[in-house]
A and B are shown apart, each in its own frame.
Chain A
Amino acid sequence: MSAAVGSGPSVGPVDSAATGAPVTVAPAQRTVNRPLALWLGLLGLGLLIGLGAWAYQLSQGLEVTNMRNPMMWGLYITLFMYFVGLSAGGLIVASAGRLFGAGGLKPIVRLAVLEATVAVLLAAIFVLPDIGRPDRAWHLFRYPNFHSPMMWDITIIVVYLLISLTYTWIYARADLARRGSWLALGTKASEAAQKRDERLKLVLAGVGLPAAILLHSITAWIFGLQISRGFWYTALMAPLFIASALVSGTGLMIILALIARRTRRVAFRDTLIAYMGKLLAIFVAVEAFLVFSEMLTAAYPGAGFEGDPVARLLTGRYAGFFWFEVGAGLIIPFALLVVPRLRRNLRWVAVASVLAMVGIFVHRLNIVINGLSFATVPYPPGVPVGTVQPVGTDSFALSLFYYPSWVEWLVALGVLCFGAIVFTVAAWRLPLREAVHG
């Protein structure tokens, strides 16, 4: 695997480039990086499996998923939302740091911007296996209907992807130029260029922050504007999505920062992790507040259009998911991060981050499943399932118990592996260390 050929895992040409010294890579230094090769090999295998599963799905139709008319969106849309959130969260943290002078985050700004770019790319990719006719995806550009929140979202995703690519490139180009890489696209590394880049970074932070907020708000509005779905129809949807984006985005940033430091791609002190842990605690608290506020408002009347779905969430078939979200996704991470002694322990911060990320994923799953899986006209027999059912099974359903099929899991695995490959290769080839002044 050619991608695995390069410098050793510790000190490579990329690291020395960050110091500004001219670098020449001697052929003798090009040895195989075994852990990296193994990692990329595994990811490549996962990608191939995912492609195979998608090909199978294309040949058979969406019948091979467990989605049906009474439960028409599933794992793909959940992951789409989740990755939009990871992307927006990462970029909000990076840009806010730049704009509002949270200078402590500077060592990982490039990592955050790269994460935001890869995550939004994955979100866009997750649309493809979800739609019944990916061969007609170009219709989105040929026949756009701007009344549709989905069209707003496609637009902002394209704009945002361009912004985050530019962002990544502006951060890296001076170092790339010093390294003599073609990726610098003719940029020169000079004192004046550096001054100009600093200004540009500030402008990009100013554009990137509202774009990230807009990106996730619009994604929220895909759901929150649907009056037929009582569980979704709330003005709190966009703020809730932003809060959950900040939780999952910060969680992922902490994990990626720790991995990147261990593999010597970035350098920072432990206080940065403690600082991010504190941010994460605040975001988790805001998320918990919004979830509670939403639930209370909907549940207070005791029943009805908005109350029934909440009652189902608290005590119904999927209640386990909700209580997991509350316990493992909100209470435990907050409890871990709010204690200063634990917050200064990298291991506990990492545990809290992973829990918060999983919690937000389950939160998104709850939004999709609980919002969709119950017929809006509540009389039997309910909605036609849409496929031929085995003898003795009903062709109609008032509510369908959804769990992803193996095809859905494998396609999702493939997309995740693709993202991990892109991220790994980019993190390995691009200069990630940001010069910290003072």
Chain B
Amino acid sequence: MVVDQERCVGCWSCCVICKSENDVPLGMWWNRIDTVGDALDTPYREQGELAMHWLPLACQHCENPACTRVCPVGATYSREDGLVMQDSGRCIGCRYCLVACPYGVRVFNWGRPERPTEFHTGMVEPRPLGTMEKCTFCVHRLPDGQVPSCVWSCPGQARIFGDLNDPQSRVSRLVRERGGYQLLEERGTDPRVFYLPPRRKRGLEP
């Protein structure tokens, strides 16, 4: 997946549809939008000018995930195609993966799930109390050739889904041409989510 920070307007549509698509209870989020800087939805100062950007954040589906390494029972694992999955039936709830993940995108079922309404879509299995869950890239949608919900719901089309192994795919080209970067690249996790940095713009007057 490629996330274009130039296009993201920080509207949280992706996060909200993710919750209904995957039946994520209140208080838990698989997807969130961080604001670059020190305060939510507030510009930060860069080289004397003000700038405002967002960082949509969900599981980075790393090629070298810290979480799968530390799981004592192998409840989180990498699929053949590179997706990092979570087996709720095997998870013992030790939360070591949550400790190990550098992105803070895993969520634990601390209590019984609460929901404003029952918007259960029936497409995703409910996760039991005391286990871990996280973004699956909407794995239930992929076999039909559909993209993850956060991708099609984005009003700014800031998310692009595709095959990073294919050098001719749109995602690969974008990463090459726009200088796509990985979040916390220095930790060596090699995420399969690339961010396209915002282009310099005429700054707002401070």
Residue positions of A touching B, CB distance < 8 A: 60-64, 67-70, 72-73, 127, 130-134, 136-137, 139-140, 142-145, 147-151, 154, 222, 226-229, 372, 375-377, 379-389, 395-396
A130 touches B94 (CB 8 A): yes
Report B-chain residues with C-beta under 8 Å of the C-beta of A382.
Answer: 34, 104
Is A376 a contact of B110 with CB atoms below 8 Å? no
- Whether A226 pairs with B72 at a CB distance below 8 angstroms is no
Q: Assuming A132-B93, A387-B110, is B28 touching A229 (CB within 8 A)?
A: no
Chain B nearest CB, measured from A9 CB (Å): 43
Among B98, B114, B131, max chain A CB count under 10 A is at B98
Residue with the greatest number of chain A CB neighbours at <10 A, chosen from B103, B109, B110? B110
* Contact in complex: A385, B93 (CB < 8 Å): no
Interfacial chain A residues near B72, Cβ < 8 Å: 140, 144-145, 148, 150-151, 154
Interface SS, B side: loop
Query: B117-125, B148-156, B157-165, B183-191: which one contacts chain A?
Result: B183-191
Once A72-B98, A145-B73 are accepted as A-B contacts, the answer to whether A132 and B32 lie under 8 Å apart by CB is no
Chain B residues within an 8 Å CB radius of A136: 90-93
**Is B112 part of the binding interface, using a Cβ–Cβ cutoff of 8 Å?**
yes
Which residues does chain B contribute within 8 Å of A63, judged by CB atoms? 110-112
Cβ-defined contact, B111 with A384, below 8 A: no
Do A380 and B107 touch (CB < 8 A)?
Answer: no
Report the separation of the CA atoms of residues A330 and B160 in the bound assembly, to the nearest whole angstrom. 55
| Residue in contact with A372 in the complex, picked from B36, B40, B66, B99, CB distance below 8 Å | B99
Contact A228 B100 (CB under 8 A): yes
Main secondary structure of the interface of A (DSSP, over half): loop
Q: Are A150 and B27 in contact (CB under 8 A)?
A: no
Decide if A61 touches B38 in the complex (CB within 8 Å): no
B residues near A (Cβ < 8 Å) are: 26-29, 32, 34-40, 55, 57, 66, 68-75, 90-96, 98-104, 106-112, 114, 128-131, 183-184, 187-188
- Give the chain A neighbours of B109 by CB distance below 8 A: 61, 132
Residues of B within 8 A of A144 (CB): 72-74
Give the complex CA separation of A395 and B110 in angstroms.
Answer: 14
Complex contact A133–B131 (CB within 8 A): yes
B106 nearest CB across to chain A (Å): 8
- Total A-B residue contacts, Cβ distance less than 8 Å: 165
Contact assessment for B184 and A377 in the assembled complex, using a CB-CB cutoff below 8 Å:
yes
A222 and B35 alpha carbons, distance in the complex (Å)? 32
CA distance in complex: A214, B183 (Å): 35
Q: Which residue of B lies closest to A65 (CB)?
A: B110
The listed residue (A127, A139, A388) touching B26 by CB distance below 8 A is A388
Min distance, Cβ B61 to any Cβ of chain A, angstroms? 16
Please give the distance in Å from A402's CB to the nearest CB on chain B.
Answer: 14
Residue of B nearest to A227 (CB): B187
B107 contact set on A, CB distance < 8 A = 69, 384, 386
User: Which of the residues A60, A140, A228, A386 comes within 8 Å of B101, measured between beta carbons?
Assistant: A228
Does A60 contact B111, Cβ atoms closer than 8 Å? yes
Are B94 and A150 in contact (CB-based, < 8 A)?
yes
Give the complex CA separation of A384 and B129 in angstroms: 17
Q: In the docked arrangement, what's the CA distance between A384 and B34, Å?
A: 11
Closest to B76 in A: A145
Q: A70-B104, A143-B73, A376-B104 are in contact. Are A133 and B93 (CB under 8 A)?
A: yes
Flag if B70 contacts A149 (CB, 8 Å).
yes
Minimal Cβ-Cβ distance residue in B for A127 = B94
Determine how close the nearest CB of chain B comes to the CB of A361; give it in whole angstroms.
20
30 contacting pairs across A/B (C-beta < 8 A) = A60-B111, A61-B109, A63-B112, A69-B98, A69-B104, A69-B108, A70-B104, A132-B92, A132-B94, A132-B108, A133-B91, A133-B128, A136-B91, A139-B92, A140-B73, A140-B92, A148-B70, A148-B72, A148-B96, A149-B70, A226-B70, A227-B102, A227-B188, A228-B101, A372-B99, A376-B101, A376-B184, A379-B37, A387-B27, A388-B27
Chain A: minimal CB distance from B71 (Å): 6
Residues of A within 8 A of B37 (CB): 379-380
Report the bound CA distance from A62 to B35 in whole Å.
Answer: 30
Output the least CB separation between B158 and chain A (Å).
16
Partner of B66, one of A68, A228, A381: A228
Q: How far is the CB of A146 from chain B (nearest CB, A)?
A: 9
User: Complex formed: what's the CA distance from A63 to B26 in Å?
Assistant: 13
Cα distance A5–B170 when bound, in Å? Answer: 80
B92 near A133 with CB under 8 A, answer yes
Q: How far is the CB of A409 from chain B (nearest CB, A)?
A: 18
